[in-house]
Chain A
Amino acid sequence: MKLTKNQWIGLVLGALGFILPFFWEINGLSAAGHMGLSIFFLAAVFWMLEPVPIYATSMLVILLQVLFLSSEGIYLNDVTEAYSPDGYTAFMGTLANPIIILFLGGFVLADAAVKYNLDLNITRILLKPFGNQPKYILLGLMSVTALLSAFMSNTATTAMMMTVIIPIIARMKPTDPLRIGLALSVPFAANIGGIATPIGTPPNAVVIGSLANQGISIPFGNWMALAVPLVLIALLILWLVLLFMYKPEAKTIEIDMTGKFNLSKKALFLYAVFAFTVILWVTESVHGVNSAIIAMIPVVFLTLTGVTSKEDIRKLPWEVLWLVAGGISLGISMKSTGLAEWIVTSIDWGSFGTITMILVFSAVAIAMSNFLSNTVTATLLAPLAISLAVSGVAGEGFNLVIISLVIGVSASFAMVLPISTPPNAIAISTGFIETKHMAKPGILIGIFGLLLVTIYALFYWPLLIGN
């Protein structure tokens, strides 16, 4: 394998970052904290510059933590006054963390839905009531995209919706600005829709996993109660922004709605399992059965009945589970080594008010995730926010859950560039739009996202969470 110059730079910088804390004595940071800093530097550089795939970095993070920070490792394995190491299972076990199992259930459902064209058929049915006026079609496409991306990956949803909108765009007059509006509506609505449920997109998982390490669980339905109102407003704003920027010329648009539901026994069983699982997830706080346990229903029953085959299981996006697990694992030792607390206490937060802190975390998350993976952004910021809240330096009224939500949600509001998210990359690849078409509305949505998150964090979320 030949490495490019940029890969070499990433590898060397990462290695230097790892070595640095060994030669840089920091007052107030324990030996374990130095070790944690080494791993943090390495991971941050590798995740940002990507000399290796981001999931490979996550795997490396887990190994390094087991070797250098666990009680069975080769370094810092004794309990001291400054550091009591976790067992190696704490790090490796992140791969079976409830949020990972929840995602696994989501993956199996989504995979089976694609296999039996459920996603496409739901789209056709739900688009019908929106008629044939361009502005309502735009709204319909955005709504359906957001709904599906709340339960499937944003990227797979975008790919599916592209098969619906490409023929529409191809039939339109080449000068009609609505072409651009349509091509943007899908990736943007998918990015936003992912916020709506815990399984919508991996940054949600990182945040929920980090909170779980603090002993705070957020039931599926509660997350939706917190996130869905924000998603709806964001979609409405997106709709208005796209209509304003790309005014439709065409008076009517025809969409081909033909298509049949697969009515084989296996397909019917899948529909039933899908509906049953989603209903149980949404009503978690009513019946009290953890959503990760419910996630085992599709995993077990779709496999038992052969709806999901061995090949389907092999094809699941396992690397995403490693990515999230590595993120949760890094959070564990950032906290236990005192590293995260040291980072947050080195900034004088007292001079900031709560509003400023929310704005700062949201703005940093949106800015970072425009250039980095959304999951990596959440992974790097969540431990800091949690330490900030737990250590008490941020003062009263700085709620752990709220600041975590701010980070998780903000990470999904990045859609300025083709590289910001995979859905954006797909949209650009169609050739219907250029980067400049994406950047302007992307920046606007980023700003609206920042304001929305701040308003919700100040006024709405506290109503549901309390202080």
Chain B
Amino acid sequence: MDNQIYIVIIEDELEVMEALLGDLEFIEPNFPLEAANNAEEAVSVMEQIEADGHKVGLLLCDHVLPGKNGIDLLIELQNHPTLKHSKKVLVTGQAGLEDTVQAINKAHLDYYIAKPWTKEELQEVVTEKLTDYVIENKLNLLQYMSALNATRLAEALRENGLTDT
């Protein structure tokens, strides 16, 4: 299928990655998941997704990673022509105040999930942020109503001034 919206997860610990993937299984039929172990791999995964004609809607990013850390990656992506529109969520237990301030001010961080997360919180955050993404990027809202927050999508449709044919 063309024009899929991907969720990219950047996490170096195998167990944590599996837990994240497990909790996000519910949304995979509509929003495919891609995993990366470090910042460099994440960039190449995301560029491949875009090269295939798809979009990256959401990044779930750990902070402490081998090589470049998560917040530096998110800040760097703000200069990327297309990836800067992706929603960015930090999933971490180890980011200090200084780092977190940086992430909010320079990387337009959309949400901070502290480890350990609850399944409900994670699922809600992912659903809401993807809803933001499809509304802000003026995608075909009807296509995503059953998978995301339908009330907010209907609200966006209303404000878009729909017409009869």
Binding site for B on A (CB under 8 A): 54, 110-111, 114, 119, 153-156, 158-160, 162-163, 166-167, 194, 201-202, 315-317, 319-320, 323, 373-376, 421-422, 425-426, 429-431
Contacts and interface: CB of A to CB of B under 8 A. Distances in A.
Contacts of A162: 150-151, 154, 157
B105 interface: no
Nearest to A167: B151
Closest 7 CB pairs of A and B: A431-B146, A162-B154, A159-B157, A373-B165, A155-B162, A429-B142, A317-B163
A202 B143 CA distance: 25
B138 interface: no
Contacts of A110: 161
Contact of A154 (B147, B157, B164): B164
B158 interface: yes
B154 A375 contact: no
A282 B146 CA distance: 40
17 contacts: A54-B165, A110-B161, A114-B159, A156-B161, A156-B163, A163-B155, A163-B158, A167-B151, A202-B165, A315-B161, A316-B161, A320-B165, A373-B165, A425-B142, A426-B145, A430-B145, A431-B150
Nearest to A316: B161
B132 to A, nearest CB: 17
A97 B70 CA distance: 60
B153 to A, nearest CB: 8
B159 A202 contact: no
Contacts of B143: 429
Given A114-B158, A159-B158, A425-B142, A166 B163 contact: no
Given A425-B142, A429-B143, A429-B146, A153 B154 contact: no
Interface residues of B, number: 17
Contacts of A167: 151
A119 B158 CA distance: 10
Given A166-B151, A429-B145, A430-B150, A160 B164 contact: no
Contact of B165 (A111, A316, A323, A430): A323
Nearest to A428: B142
Contact of A320 (B145, B150, B164): B164
B161 A201 contact: no
A422 B165 contact: yes
A218 to B, nearest CB: 19
Given A159-B158, A162-B150, A163-B155, A375 B165 contact: yes
A194 B165 CA distance: 12
Q: Which of B142, B147, B150, B159 has the most CB of A within 10 A?
A: B150
Q: Which of A158, A373, A374 has the most CB of B within 10 A?
A: A158
B158 A421 contact: no
A114 B161 contact: yes
Contacts of A160: 154, 158
Contacts of A373: 165
B164 A155 contact: yes
A114 B165 CA distance: 19
A315 B138 CA distance: 14
Contacts of B157: 159, 162, 426
Interface string B121-165: 000000000000000000000110111001100110111011111
A422 B164 contact: yes
A313 to B, nearest CB: 12
B142 to A, nearest CB: 4
A426 B154 contact: yes
B122 to A, nearest CB: 20
Contacts of B145: 426, 429-431
Contacts of B146: 429-431
A136 to B, nearest CB: 23
Contacts of A316: 161
Contacts of B151: 162-163, 166-167
Q: Which of A160, A201, A315, A316 has the most CB of B within 10 A?
A: A160
A350 B162 CA distance: 44
Nearest to A54: B165
Q: Which of B155, B159, B161, B165 has the most CB of A within 10 A?
A: B165
Contacts of A430: 145-146, 150, 154
Q: Which of A156, A316, A319, A421 has the most CB of B within 10 A?
A: A156
